[in-house]
Structure 1
Amino acid sequence: MNLADRLHTAARRLGGRAVLTLDGAELTYGALEELSARLARLLLARGVGAGDRVAMMLPNVPEFGVVYYGVLRIGAVVVPLDPLLKRREIAAYLGDCGARLLIAWHAFAETAEAGAAGTGADVFFVVPEEFRRLLRGVGAEPEIASMADGDTAVIHYTSGTTGRPKGIELTHANLGGNAAAVARMHALGVDDVVLAALPLYHTFGQTCSLNATVHAGARLTLLRRFEAGRALEVIRRDGVTVFQGVPTMFIALLDHPGASDMSMLRVCVSGGAALPLDVLRAYETRLGVEITEGYGLSETSPVAAANRGGHHRRAGSIGWPIRGVEMRVVSEDGRDVPCGTIGEIVVRGPNVMKGYWNDPAGTAEAIRNGWFHTGDLGRTDEDGFFYLVGRRRDVIIRGGYTVYPREVEEVLYEHPAVRQAAVLGVPHPELGEEIEAVVALRAPVTCEDLRDFVKERVAAYKYPRHITFLDELPMSPTGKILKRALARPSAVRAGRSA
C-alpha cells in the first residue's frame, strides 16, 4: 500500500470535485492526481528514486499536496520541515536524513539555500505560476510505486539542531491507517469541508486534515497562517463543517468580536495541549458547537485517543483509544496502575512509528515489549476515559508547538556572556505555556540583547519571551541543573527578569 494510492482512488471517483482550495484558487481531485504524477516524473528525471529522502518547506498552499503525493508516488520519503526554520536548523535536518532534494517555497529561498549549502541536497523552489508551467511540460508518471506496509513514507523531526536531531519514521501503513481511523471516527464524507488551520508539515495537520480529507473524498480549504478573523471569514464563506485546531486557535476565535453562532461546524477537534474547560463550555453555550479533545504524538501518527461526540465525550478527558489502538497507564516498572492513579501513558497499535531514524538505541528505549512509552503522565477513570496530567520530559508545548529546552539552551550557551542556562515552560493563559530562560552570566548582557541573539537562530515560536538572571542556578550533587527548583513563578525568584 502506497499512501498515494488513496489520492489515485479518490481521483477516479471524484475527479471533477475540488479537493484543495485557497481563496480563489482550486485544485480538483483529478488535477491533484495529474500534477503529482507529473512531479513524480520530474523527480525521477532528476535521479530521485524509491527510499530517497525529499525535504519540503512549504506553507499551507495547494502545491503542498502536489509535492507531498508526488514524492510518495515514486516511493521516496517525505521530510516535511517548518518553513519558519532558520539556516542552522535546516542544515541539521537535511544532514541527518541525507536528503537528496529540498523543495522550498519561493518566499523562503534565501534561508533554504543557505541551510542546504554543504549538506549535499539540491534545492528546488516553488514559484506558483512557474511551477505549473514547468509541470505542464512534463509527462505524467503512470505508475505508483508498490510499497510494503512497513516502508517509510515520512520522517518527522521533533528535536533540536544541536546534538543529534530525532527523526520519527512513519510508514505508509501508519499514516494510511490513522487517516482512515480519523475519517471513520468523524464520519467524514464528500459533502464535508475541512478547514486547514493547522500547518500541513505537522503530523496533526498532515494526517487529520490532508490525508483524512483525501481518504474521505472531502474538500480541504487552506489558511496560509492562522488568524482568528480570517478563519471566521473562511469558515462562513466556504461552509466549513470540520475544524481541527490547538487550544490557542479556539481561544483566539472565542475572543474575536466577530464570533457568533458557529453551529454549522459539525465536528470541532482540539489537540496538541489541554483545552481549558471554560473555553470548552463557552463554545457550547455561546457559539453552539461541541468540541471534542484527542491525544497523540508524532510517534503515533499522531492520533492515539479521542473523545467521541455526545455521551461518548467527557470534558477534560482525552477520551479513549481509537479503533485498533491500545493504551495503558503504567508505573516505572511497566505494571498497570490502579484506576485514578497517575502513571506513564503507553501505546500499542498500528499507529506506532517504525522507529527513530538511524537511532536503534533511541527506538529500543521508546518502544519496549511492543509498547511505545510516551513520557506523558496520565490516569484513567472508572469508565475507561484517559486524562493527561503532565509530561515526564521537560518538553514545552507553546500554543500547540513543541519546543525542546535543550535546543534553546544550546543556543544560549553560544553567547559569550552566558555561563549557565536552563529553559522551561511557565503557565500562560492563552498559549498553555510560555518559554522562559533562567541564566547565570559571566559578563553583562541585557535581556533584550540575549533574546534577540536566540531569536535570530531559531524559529519564531522557540525563543524565550522571559529571561531571568540569577547569580547561580541550583545544581545537583552530580552537577546537573535542578529545573525542579526553578519551576515556580519568576516573581518569587531572587533575580532580575524581563
Structure 2
Amino acid sequence: MIHSLTLSDVLSEHARSRPKVTAVVDGSLRLTYSELDARVSRLAGALAARGVGEGERVLWLGQNSHAVLELLLACSRLGALFCPANWRQSTDELRFVVEDLSPRVVVWERFEAAAPLATDAWVDDHAALVEEGRPSDLPPVDDGAPVLALYTAAFEGRPNAAMLSSAALLAHSMSLLVVRQMEPDFTFLNNGPLFHVGTMMFCLATLQIGGTNVFTPSFDAEEVCRLVDAEKVTQAFLFGQMIDAVAAANAERKYDLSSLRFVSHSAEWDEMTTPDDSPWCRSKMGGYGQTEVGGMLTFLGLAPGAAGFAGRPSPLVQVRILAPDGSEVAQGEVGEICARGKTLFSGYFARPELNALKSRYGWHHTGDLGRREQDGTITFIGPKLRMIKSGNENVYPAEVERALRSHPAVADAAVIGVPDERWHQAVKAVVALKGEASVEELVEHVRGQLAAYKRPRHVDFVESIPKKGFAPDYDALDLAHGGGNYPGA
C-alpha cells in the first residue's frame, strides 16, 4: 500500500502540513484542515457504526454543502462509495436512484421530492452524525477502489452511476492544477451543483492543492457576489448567462470581485474581475470531457491555436478515434472518441453488460463522435446518440419520451432540441395521441416524473412519429419541427 494515495490520505497530510489553513467555508461554519480531518474521522466512525464498510454505498440527497465533501472523504477513509444525487429530480427519479444504488445510509435534507421516500433509517441531520461518531483505527484503503458515484448518461431512459476511484480523481486534479495553474491560496466557490463533475472536479483540485472550498446551496447571483467579496474567491462555477447574471447583480459595484481570476467575457465583466492568463482561462475553459473520464479528457489550453476545438488530451490519458470494429480511423475521419488512462472511471455501478460494451477493445468508448486533425488535436463532433443541451443541463430524449409515453392519451412521442436564445436549446415534444390531452396536461405530466428543466417547452401534435427502424427518425423530426443547436454542431 505504500504507493496508494486516497482522497482521505490527501486530507490527512494537509491536517499535518497545513493545520491552520482554512479548508471549508459554509455559512457561519469555518474549518481548518486539522478540524476538517477530525470531523471526517468522527463521521467515518458514525458511518461504520451503521454498517458502512468496503464497497457499501452512502447517498446524499440535498443541495450543495460542506457535508458533501465530508461524506466523500469519510467514504474514502472507509473504502465505501459516495453518491451526491441530483436533488432537482422528481420523486420518481430519486426513487430509481435509491433502489438502483441500494445505499446502506442516506443522508438527506428535507425537501419536497425526497420527503415521500424517507424512512426512519435515513439520517436527516448530518451535523448530529458527525457529533455522534468516534474515530477508530481503520485498515488502509486501495486508491483504485471506487469512491465517488455520479449518475449520468440516461440515453436509454434511465441514468447510470459512473464510479470514480481516488486514483482517477487525484490524477484528474493534477491535470487540472497544471492547466488552470492553481496555487495553494486558490479559493473555489462551489455554487454549481456538486452532483455534476464540472463543480466536483474543481472542488477536489482545490482540496488537493490545499486551497479553500466555499459552499453555497445553489446559484444565486447576488450571493455569489457577496461570497466572492467576503472570501476573496479565485474561481467560481460560472458560465455564459450565469456570468451575465453576476455582472448585472454587481452593476452598481456594490461588491469587490477583483479576486476572481476568471476568463475574459465582456468589457463590464472584465472591469469587475481580473482576467486570468492561465491556459484554462485563455482558452475560454475549453476542451472535451464527461463524467466517465473524471471531468476533462482534453484541454484547449494544451493546444493554443489548435485546429481541433477540443484541444489535446490530458498528459495522463490516451485518446483514439475508433471505427465500430475497433480500428483507428485515419486523420480527418470521424469516429468514436475512445480513451484509456489514469483519470478514467471504474465502470457503472451494477451494469456488467454496459461496462463490457463500453470497454471493448481495451478502450473506454465515450459515445461521442470526434475527429483527429492534421496537427494531432481533437475536434468534438457530437453525441452518437441524441442529446439536448439546455442551459448547462444535459437532457436525454429517451428519458423524456419514456415519461410522455406513460400518459394514457399518448400513442407515441419523440423529443428534439430546438434553438433557444436564452438556454441555447429548449426541449420540444412531438406527440401522436390516442386520446384527449392538452399541451399543458402533457407538460405537467412530465414535470411530475422528471426534473423541471427536462419538461417540454413546446409540444407539436402529429398523426404519427417518423421512424428509422424502431427508433424515431430524429433528422426528419428536426427538419419538420425546427430542431437544431445540438452539442458539437
What TM-score results when the alignment is normalised by the length of structure 1?
A: 0.85
User: What is the SS of the residue equivalent to 2:44?
Assistant: helix
Q: Note closer, same or farther for the CA distance 1:199–1:53 as it changes in structure 2 (3 Å cut).
A: same
Contact 2:221 2:246 in 1 (8 A): yes
**Residue type of the alignment partner of 1:213:** T
Measure the CA separation in 2 of the matches of 1:161 and 1:480: 13
Change in CA separation of 1:413 and 1:385 when aligned onto 2, cut-off 3 Å: same
Counterpart residue number, 2:179? 185
Tell me which residue corresponds to 1:321.
313
Q: 2:345 aligns with which of 353, 357, 364?
A: 353
Bigger mean CA deviation after superposition, 367-376 or 18-27: 18-27
Q: CA deviation at 1:383?
A: 3.0
- Equivalences for 1:41-80 in 2 at 5 Å? 41-80=45-84
Quote how far apart the aligned CAs of 1:266 are.
3.1
Q: Which ranges in structure 1 are unaligned for 5 or more consecutive residues?
A: 270-278, 493-498
Unpaired segments of 5 or more residues in structure 2?
276-281, 484-489
Cα deviation, 1:474-495, whole Å, max 9, x if unaligned, reads: 123x443212211147369xxx
Tell whether the 8 Å contact from 1:439 to 1:470 is kept in structure 2 after alignment: yes
Q: Verify the 8 A CA contact 1:2 1:72 in the aligned structure 2.
A: yes
1:213 aligned partner: 206
Q: Deviations over 1:346-396 (max 9, x none)?
A: 212111222122222211221122221212222343333322222211122
Cα–Cα, structure 1 residues 464 and 141, in superposed 2: closer, same or farther, change >3 Å? Answer: farther
* Matched residue SS, 1:461: helix
Distance (Å, rounded) in 2 between the aligned partners of 1:209 and 1:239: 16
Separation in structure 1 between the aligned mates of residue 86 and residue 66 of structure 2, nearest angstrom = 16
1:59 partner amino acid: Q
Does structure 1 conserve the Cα–Cα contact (< 8 Å) formed by 2:419 and 2:426? yes
State the alpha-carbon separation in 2 of the partners of residues 160 and 375 from structure 1: 12
Q: Which residue of 2 aligns with 1:135?
A: 130
Correspondence 1:486 to 2:477:
yes
2:467 match: secondary structure: coil
1:263-302 correspondence runs (5 A): 264-268=259-263, 289=275, 290=282, 291-302=284-295
Residue 156 of structure 1: how far off its partner (Å): 1.9
Q: Which position in structure 2 is the counterpart of 1:83?
A: 87
Moved more, 212-221 or 350-359: 350-359
Listed one character per residue, the Cα deviations across residues 431-454 of structure 1 (whole Å, up to 9, x for unaligned) are 332211111111222111211111
Any idea what SS the aligned residue of 1:355 has? Answer: coil
Give the equivalent residue in structure 2 for 1:371: 363
Once the 2 structures are TM-superposed, how far is the Cα of residue 177 of structure 1 from its aligned partner?
1.5
Partner SS, residue 441 of structure 2: helix
Deviations 1:382-416, CA, capped at 9 Å, x for gaps: 33332222221112222222222212111111111
Q: Report the aligned-residue RMSD.
A: 3.0
Mapped pair 1:227 → 2:226: no
Conserved? CA contact 1:94–1:116, under 8 Å: no
Q: Does 1:96 align with 2:100?
A: yes
Q: Please give the alpha-carbon distance, in whole angstroms, between the structure 2 residues aligned to 1:473 and 1:66.
A: 48
CA deviations over 1:185-225 (Å, ceiling 9, x no partner): 3232221111212211222222x222111100011222321
State which of 111, 114, 123 in structure 2 corresponds to 1:112: 114
Contact 2:225-2:257 at 8 Å conserved across structures: no
Q: How has the CA–CA distance of structure 1 residues 302 and 82 changed in structure 2, closer, same or farther, with 3 Å as cutoff?
A: same
Partner of 1:273: none
Of 31, 34, 43, which aligns to 1:30?
Answer: 34
CA distance in 1, matches of 2:331, 2:444: 47
Q: Call closer, same or farther: CA 1:437–1:255 in 2, change over 3 Å.
A: farther
User: Residues 338 and 249 of structure 1: is their aligned pair in 2 closer, same or farther, counting only changes over 3 Å?
Assistant: farther
The answer to whether the aligner puts 1:454 opposite 2:446 as a matched pair is: yes
**Secondary structure in structure 2 of the residue aligned to 1:156:** strand
SS in structure 2 of the partner of residue 30 of structure 1: helix
Query: Conserved in 1, the CA contact under 8 Å of 2:68 and 2:84?
Result: no
CA distance, structure 1, for counterparts of residue 456 and residue 441 of structure 2: 12
Distance 1:52 1:103, change over 3 A: same
Matched, 1:308 2:301: yes
Out of 315, 330, 341, the position equivalent to 2:322 is: 330
Determine if contact 1:328/1:347 at 8 Å carries over to the other structure: yes
Pair 1:244–1:13, CA change in 2 (3 A): same
Q: Does 1:20 align with 2:24?
A: yes
1:461-480 alignment, distance < 5 Å: 461-476=453-468, 478-480=469-471
Q: What is the distance in 1 between the residues matched to 2:345 and 2:441? A: 41
Query: 1:156 and 2:150 equivalent?
Result: yes
AA of the residue aligned to 2:43? L
Secondary structure (helix, strand or coil) at the match of 1:124 reads coil
SS at match of 1:434: strand
Structure 1 residues 22 and 148: alpha-carbon distance in aligned structure 2, compared to 1, 3 A threshold? closer
Can you list the C-alpha shifts for 1:272-300, whole angstroms capped at 9, x where unaligned? Answer: xxxxxxx6899679966243313211111
Q: Structure 2 length as normaliser, TM-score?
A: 0.87
Which deviates the most, 178-187 or 327-336? 327-336
Change (3 A) 1:84 1:430: same
With over 3 angstroms needed to count, the CA separation of the structure-2 counterparts of 1:79 and 1:122, relative to structure 1, is farther
The 1:65–1:382 alpha-carbon spacing in structure 2 relative to 1, beyond 3 Å, is same
Indicate the larger mover: 64-73 or 209-218. 64-73
In the alignment, which residue of structure 2 is the partner of 1:204?
198
Deviation at 1:247, TM superposition (A): 4.1
AA in 1 matched with 2:184: V
Partners of 1:175 and 1:286 lie apart in 2 by: 33
Residue-pair matches, total: 470
Give 3-state SS (helix, strand or coil) of 2:401's partner: helix
- 1:205, 1:63 → 2: CA distance? 15
Q: 1:286 to 1:8 in 2, by over 3 A?
A: closer
Amino acid at match of 2:421: P
Identity score, percent: 29
Give SS of 1:357's match: coil
What letter is aligned with 2:481?
A: S
Aligned to 1:276: none
